[in-house]
Amino acid sequence: MISFSRRPLAVVLLFLLGLAGALAQEREPLLVFGAASLADALQRVGDAYTQSTGTPVKFSFAASSALAKQIESGAQADVFMSADQEWMDYLDRQQLLKPGTRQSLLGNRLALIAPADSKVSIKLGPNAPIGAALGDKGRLATGDPDSVPVGKYAKAALTSLQLWDSLQARIARAENVRAALTYVARGEAPLGIVYATDAAIEPKVRIVDLFPDSSHTPITYPVAATKMAKAASDSFVSFLRSEAALATFKAAGFTIVNAQGTAATDPCSGFQYDVSEELKLFAGSPRKIVAAASTDAPPTLEARQLYEVALTEQSKVRFGEPPTKPTVNEGSYAGMVRIAASSAKTIRIALNEPAWIDVLDGRRNLDSSRHAGSHNCKLVRKSVEFSVEPGRALIVQLSGSTERSLRIAVMR
């Protein structure tokens, strides 16, 4: 009769139980605390990380200040991604970050926004008329300047432009940037200050203008694993710099920065479709023309040619049809150009400034089929695509520009 020793079997069972426990621990979800402005993009990155590694990721999004305070109070977060350096510094000073994991990852722009149907037009600069645009009772929505990063950036920018003293009593102090965005989207505030990436995801608001970069400290998003983080946190932080993750952030309009917080990649990001042809064209030298102030004999644009178009004060322009996006005449410039008839069924019109584009086929305004824009690119700010009837000459109405001239190209 053959007998088996129970000792080797017990060792095998203990090994298998240990392996099962280790696998279970590896599959335990990571908890990531992220600034509210990261919610959409970071959720997509988390989904991609889970597909790649099998490790689930759970998120908690709020103001960076609130998240840092929660970690300080013992919240079991594995990774923290802040909208500014100060709240990451706050945790670092208390030795609540895992040494060697902190790095800067993303950049952003600060934007003045209004409801999408608002007619307000403001060019941001010293003593810009924000107070007048708010009216008697309107308030300026942004994060709480005492704690929320977007509010602190807003205070710095307004102070730099000599506007803080006159506007500080009119600030609607939101708990985070998404709350400020909602105030404007609902029409509860006529103006707001948010990040450009937040404005891009909300169709009920529009960007009035971007604050000069020089008016505030650079907007950077640092990330770090926490002191109590699970082992997989290092893998997740590394994944944030993967090609897939960076493409997701860039598509959302963020810039990518190096570990020191300076721009590390081409700043032309955030477009929703390929505009590489436009970017090559806009890097060249333009032909200079003057737009017409009416539909009578406007200059004709050739396809795939870059033009610098001089515009007229909008109050002096006689539009063929009312612009679909009305703007105030004061401080705005407009004009008309023509596109010659062709066999193309689709055209794209690209600009280097955030002006409004209307395409007229006779006396009919054509609806755009899709558009792409970027608040990070100095070459191309927007590209709008239209489905057209071949063989028809078209009039392009430009309106609401805050600049006296802009660059334009027609792609077929």
Domain boundaries, the chain: 6-107+221-256, 110-215, 276-411
* 308: nearest Cα among 333, 285, 331: 285
Mean pLDDT of the chain: 89
- What's at 185, amino acid-wise? A
Kindly provide the residue ranges of all beta strands, DSSP E only, lying in 52-115, ordered along the sequence.
57-62, 79-81, 103-107, 110-115
**2 — pLDDT class (breaks 50, 70, 90):** very low
Alpha helices in 190-348, H assignment, sequence order: 196-201, 232-239, 243-251, 276-282
Scan for tokens 């042809």, then name that residue.
277
- How confident is the model at residue 14, as a pLDDT? 52
Q: Identify the pLDDT of residue 24.
A: 42
Which strands form 171-174's sheet, in the order they lie side by side?
A: 171-174, 140-143, 191-195, 110-115, 205-210
For the residues 333-361, what does the mean pLDDT come to?
93
pLDDT tier at 325, thresholds 50, 70, 90: confident
Region of poorest pLDDT, from 17-21, 113-117, 153-157, 401-405: 17-21
Q: What's the pTM value of the predicted model, to 2 decimals?
A: 0.64
- Residue whose structure tokens are 């006529």: 190
Judge if 6-107+221-256 and 110-215 fold alike in CATH terms.
yes
What Å distances lie between residue 340 and 300, 302, 368, 412, CA to CA? Answer: 6, 7, 18, 12
The per-residue pLDDT for 275 is 86
Identity (one letter) of the amino acid at 366?
Answer: L
- Architecture of the domain spanning 6-107+221-256: 3-Layer(aba) Sandwich (3.40)
CB 243: neighbour CB atoms within 10 A? 7
Q: Does residue 131 register a pLDDT over 50?
A: yes
| The pLDDT of residue 143 is above 50 | yes
pLDDT of 97 strictly over 60: yes
pLDDT of residue 22 exceeding 50: no
Task: Give the model confidence (pLDDT) of 204-232 as tens digits.
Answer: 999 999 998 889 989 999 999 999 999 99
pLDDT band at 288 (very low <50, low <70, confident <90, very high): very high
Residues 367-390: tens digit of each pLDDT: 999 888 776 677 898 899 999 999
Distance CA 376, CA 197 (A): 10
- CATH superfamily for domain 110-215: Periplasmic binding protein-like II (3.40.190.10)
Q: What is the pLDDT of residue 329?
A: 84
Q: What is the pLDDT of residue 287?
A: 94
**Is a pLDDT exceeding 80 seen at residue 151?**
yes
Q: What is the mean pLDDT of residues 329-338?
A: 92
Q: Ramachandran region of residue 297, left (φ > 0), alpha (ψ -120 to 50) or beta?
A: left
CATH classification of 276-411, choosing from 2.60.40.10, 2.60.120.380, 3.40.50.300, 1.10.1740.10?
2.60.120.380
**What pLDDT was estimated at residue 270?**
65
> 3-class SS at 226?
strand
Least confident among 176-185, 255-264, 369-378, 394-403 = 255-264
